Structure 1
Amino acid sequence: MGRLMNDHESDLIAQARDILKKKFGYDQFRSGQQQVIQEVLSGHDVFAMMPTGSGKSICYEVPGYLLEGIVLIISPLLSLMEDQVNQLREIGEKNVRALNGLMHPEERSRVLAHLRDIRFLFISPEMLRQHSVLTALSRVKLSLFVVDEAHCVSQWGHDFRPDYLYLAEIRSHLGNPACLAVTATADERVREDIVRSLDLRAVNYVLMSVDRRNIALAVHKVKSSEEKIEELCKLLSKVQLPGIVYCAGRDWTEKIADIIRQKLGLRTAFYHGGMEAVDRRKIQNQFLDGQLDLLCCTNAFGMGINKPDIRLVVHFHFPATMNAYLQEIGRASRDGKQGLAILYYAEQDEHYPLGFIDANFPDDTLLRQVLRELDQGLLKLEKKETFLTSLQDRGASETAARFIFENVRFVTRGMNYSSIFEECRKKITERRSVQLNELSMMKRYLNSTTCRRAFYLSVYNESQSEKLDLCCDQCGLSLEAFERACPQTSDVHPEQTLDWHQRLATIFRESERDI
């Protein structure tokens, strides 16, 4: 239940409804939106957990037209920023910009020189820490400090995006504007971590249910990857699409996409972090525009994706946390229609999340070696990227290299770098313990013999309000309800078997012929 409004707040909400109608074309707020906006307009720090597709962006966009100053939105991905900027421009908002590393320095300087003309500014945590950016922002008034996809503070901040851990310090430097942290999924530990990391004061919580009632759940245990592929192909030949298949590694996305194209003739592509940004963007747009039936991807895909008609989310390998799992299945059926989430589980898959956890941190030998070389002057900290590259050349993962950098950069003059060895080991032990506990919870879900929906709701201290007809495999779920009207035949058309490189090349050749 929300608190009662005073007359001033009632007037502000009336103005907010007017803006909602005139600017965005909606007659009324969705569940949770008004409560968040009420607290934001009252100048309070707010933590909002709202399910995917519930309109989280409205919660800071509407206040942006009522508050004086810039709404600063910290966003994790360039593609997500671009989408949000474009959506605001589509409603006629001209005073919106994004600051990112791909901008030409002169263009970035122009944006910083004209900040007073901007209403909404999207930025990454890394860009926000740059001295020129901070200096320019400190000279203007900020109306709201928004941390979008706030689970990244906890999920990434401790590991490979340490700039997230400096957001509280930056907000303080910018005059402590009210903060809105928004995410779709965060259990109690992650919520506490976010609130502590962002230094939210007298925070108001708006917590909506994580339950996506229109997504049915199933876990299929198999003995091998070959059996998985066989089961997956049977599934894809029958059920409604489009769909997403999540895999643990880049090679798997390419392999499965190729198999599905050849066996089923579905319009399929792969997507992972090893591709060039422009290529990832092309594939993403193809999927969003309905030119693909299926996307095989790593967890690099999905955050902020606005495609309401995804009917199927498959996990070919299971993620390391329940938070990640619910984030990923939540990309299905944002239009409210029925969706399906299938996870294929083989016991040997457990080495993937364990390997990712181990790769997050340097081992004792590497850590001791790096600290010793810093003491001896064989390694230098002057240039961050050079230092990180040097560590990766020694066998460290990108995440482990960043961990070392963030811990050695604050060693004061006169101290030995080797003196922080035990402190670093303690941090590693603590972080590994947290991640292993989260992995253990995920494995309990996979091996549960009771209702899967009831299980994951209990993780978030929720319970089922009523039993669903299409709930989960433990509740007698039949996949017949998800079959499409015209099952896919095995006829393979040449244009469908081309991978995305070949399709683009074909398009360009045709364009040249037209010229």
Structure 2
Amino acid sequence: MLHDALKKWFGFDSFKDGQEAIISSVLNQTNTLGILPTGSGKSLCYQLPTYINQKPTLIVSPLISLMDDQVMQMKLNGETSVSCVHSGMDEQERQFNLSKIKSSRFIFLSPEFLLQPFNIKLLNHLDLGLIVLDEAHCLSEWGYDFRPHYALIGKITRQFPQATILALTATAQPYLLNDINHMLNTKFTEIKTTMNRDNISLSHLNFDNDEGKLSWLLEFIQHSGPTIIYVSSKKICLTLAQAIYKEGYLTGIYHGDLTYQERHTVQHQFINNEIPIIVATSAFGMGINKKDIRTIIHFHLPTSPSSYMQEIGRAGRDGEMSQAISLYQPDDSFLLETLLFTDSITEDDITLFESGDLIDPIKLEMLTILNDYYSLNELITIFNTAYQRKQIAYKKMIGYKMLDSCRRQFLLNYFGEHDITKPVNCCDNDSELKNLAIYNRKKVKRKMNYNEKLQNLFN
């Protein structure tokens, strides 16, 4: 039956690894955590059950780019019964999508939108068959100290007890299953395939300073193919992009402070190979449907193996050989620790919050949101646990820079994977890796469009 439905709705003859098991679980009305590597067709795991059950599906999504990409892909495949509301839309587009919600088969919304009382009422009369928590690792990584509304996701799911819940992600920390069971006060069945992407080679380089890194980078990108370079901050993003552009390469920047239109433009240019290189913070990547990214460079190490696996997973979605290279210099450790721990909420912050004393406004806002769902004692436990997890993840990444054994084994062990078949091009510690040689052309003069030509005539 499932294979017939797959052929009918999507024209495919067979499922990818993990898809059939997840879909069967959902159709049996079992709340399911599905863990599939990037590019393995996670969206099919909720689209096919939606067509089979003929009931609307709510997709709770963390990022605008992710929603936009999935909506665009659906529409390209002929699906018109889809609505999406997010902060990047103008008022006319927003109102149009709001008016479509009650008649839509697929509804894409953010947790922040849904947790506004008036907005959740838009769904009250819908017989939802499925609620999808997309990029579910964000529940653990962001749900308390970055996107607190994610930690309140149980408020949404409780309002639709008839709906099956499907949480989807490409990377799952060892504690993710317990976290979402706790957040949603339910029990999920976990279905997991390997997180190993054997077409991505792993290597690492240590330098004495940032000048050494930059010198290596400017030479390396000549032949790196479509490339994302991840950095730790907006400031470094701008500085590095300027250096690359000065070297002669068309380069895009991407960080959280750009407007929706700026982010959309950069994504479009990168996807269409108008620019070969993106310099970005971790805000870039999810929802970017570019299959031929060949190189991921971390100018700064990420703060956890989960972040690293997510970000390098954006390479080689076409199955072709790709490479992930991380860089480090001694001052980076201070930078990473600052990013991780400076703004962390502590037990002292919660005590100040309880007594009504002065507290950082951002922390005050987050604790106010969370305290609506969790007791203060629960929050103390939650943030103490989060701090310990950050320390463990950070130490794991610091260990990665000095590793003399298999990098793939080291990373996957963190996620509980121990029986690993190593590819030929595995990592720089157990393979004779050769860097890819895909030429990136230097910038060319852009052709003026019609309006620009007119403007030049009259200036």
Amino acid at match of 1:404: L
1:436 paired residue among 372, 384, 391: 391
1:514–1:91: structure 2 CA closer, same or farther, 3 Å change rule? farther
Superposed displacement of residue 194, structure 1: 2.5
Query: What is the aligned length?
Result: 458
2:149 touches 2:369 (CA, 8 Å); kept in 1? no
Aligned residue type for 2:391: L
What is the 5 A alignment of 1:488-499? 495=445
Are 1:19 and 2:8 counterparts? Answer: yes
Pick closer, same or farther for the CA change 1:454–1:410 going to 2, 3 Å.
Answer: closer
Decide which of 223, 226, 233 is 2:218's aligned counterpart. Answer: 233
Any idea what the Cα deviations from partners look like across 1:205-239, whole Å, max 9, x if unmatched? Answer: 220111110000001111101111111122112x3
Provide the residue aligned with 1:483 in structure 2.
437
Aligned equivalent of 2:122 = 136
1:256-303 deviation digits (Å, cap 9, x = unpaired): 11111222x222121111222211111111101110110000001001
Please give the alpha-carbon distance, in whole angstroms, between the structure 2 residues aligned to 1:70 and 1:514: 54
Counterpart Cα distance in 2 of 1:258 and 1:359: 28
Relative to the length of structure 1, the TM-score reads: 0.81
After TM superposition, list the pairs within 5 Å mapping 1:363-512 onto structure 2: 374=356, 398=362, 400-407=363-370, 427-480=382-435, 482-484=436-438, 495=445, 509-510=452-453, 512=455
* Residue matched to 1:243: 227
Structure 1 residues 207 and 222: CA distance shift in structure 2, 3 A? same
| 2:27 aligned residue | 41
Relative distance call for 1:364 and 1:213 in structure 2 (3 A) is closer
| Displacement of 1:309 | 0.5
User: What residue number does 2:298 align with?
Assistant: 315
Quick one: distance in 2 between partners of 1:411 and 1:256? 42
The equivalent of 2:344 in structure 1 is 361
Query: Does the 8 Å CA contact 1:137/1:174 hold for their aligned counterparts?
Result: no
Correspondence list, 1:329-344, <5 A: 329-344=312-327
Task: Quote the residue 1:415 is aligned against.
Answer: none
- What's the counterpart of residue 304 of structure 1? 287
The equivalences for 1:52-451 within 5 A come to: 52-103=38-89, 115-201=101-187, 203-237=188-222, 239-263=223-247, 265-362=248-345, 374=356, 398=362, 400-407=363-370, 427-451=382-406
Q: Secondary structure of the residue that 2:80 maps to in structure 1?
A: coil
Looking at structure 1, the residues matched to 100 and 250 of structure 2 have their Cα atoms a distance apart, in angstroms, of: 45
CA gap 1:131/1:493 in 2 versus in 1, 3 angstroms = closer
Distance 1:367 1:205, change over 3 A: closer
Aligned residue for 1:142, secondary structure, equals coil
**Whole-angstrom distance in 2 between the partners of 1:268 and 1:103:** 26
Counterpart-to-counterpart distance in 1, 2:101 and 2:351: 46
Q: Using the TM superposition, give the Cα deviation of residue 409 of structure 1 relative to its aligned residue in structure 2, in angstroms.
A: 5.5
CA distance in 2, matches of 1:514, 1:50: 55
* Cα distance in 2 between the residues matched to 1:28 and 1:298: 37
1:347-376 C-alpha deviation (Å, 9 max, x unpaired): 22112221122233357887776666x47x
SS of match in other structure, 2:66 = helix
Q: Deviations over 1:94-139 (max 9, x none)?
A: 2100122355678656655654421110010111112122223121
Amino acid at match of 2:229: V
- In structure 2, the partner of 1:500 is none
Contact 1:159 1:402 (C-alpha < 8 Å) held by counterparts: no
Deviations 1:116-172 (A, max 9, x none): 421110010111112122223121200101001001111111112111122223211
Aligned to 1:499: none
Q: Is the 8 A contact 2:226 2:277 kept in 1?
A: yes
> Would the alpha carbon gap of residues 220 and 401 (structure 1) be closer, same or farther in structure 2, given more than 3 Å must change?
farther
Question: Which of these two proteins has the greater Rg computed from alpha carbons?
Answer: 1
TM-superposition CA deviations, 1:10-31 (whole Å, max 9, x none): x3x14422334xxx33332222
More deviation, 27-36/283-292? 27-36
Q: Distance in 2 between matches of 1:181 and 1:36?
A: 10
Distance 1:511 1:160, change over 3 A: farther
Q: Which runs of 5+ in 1 are unaligned?
A: 1-10, 380-390, 413-419, 497-502
Contact 1:101–1:127, Cα closer than 8 Å, also in 2: no
Secondary structure of 1:83's counterpart equals helix
Q: Distance in 2 between matches of 1:47 and 1:98?
A: 23
Q: Deviations over 1:482-508 (max 9, x none)?
A: 123x586xxx65748xxxxxx99x996
Q: TM-score, normalised by structure 2?
A: 0.91
2:81, 2:12 → 1: CA distance? 21
Q: Which amino acid aligns with 2:323?
A: L
Distance in 1, Cα, partners of 2:365 & 2:220: 41
Q: Distance in 1 between matches of 2:437 and 2:386?
A: 43
Decide whether aligned partners of structure 1 residues 162 and 19 sit closer, same or farther in structure 2, where only a CA change above 3 A counts. Answer: farther
| Alpha carbons 1:246, 1:299 under 8 Å: kept | yes
Identity fraction in percent: 31
1:45-66: CA deviation from partner (whole Å, max 9, x where unpaired):
1111000000100111111111
Tell me which of 36, 41, 46 is aligned to 1:50.
36
Query: What is the one-letter code of the residue matched to 2:279?
Result: C
- Tell me how far apart the structure 2 counterparts of residues 348 and 25 of structure 1 sit (CA, whole Å): 53
Task: From the superposition, tell whether residues 54 and 487 of structure 1 become closer, same or farther in structure 2 (CA, over 3 Å).
Answer: closer
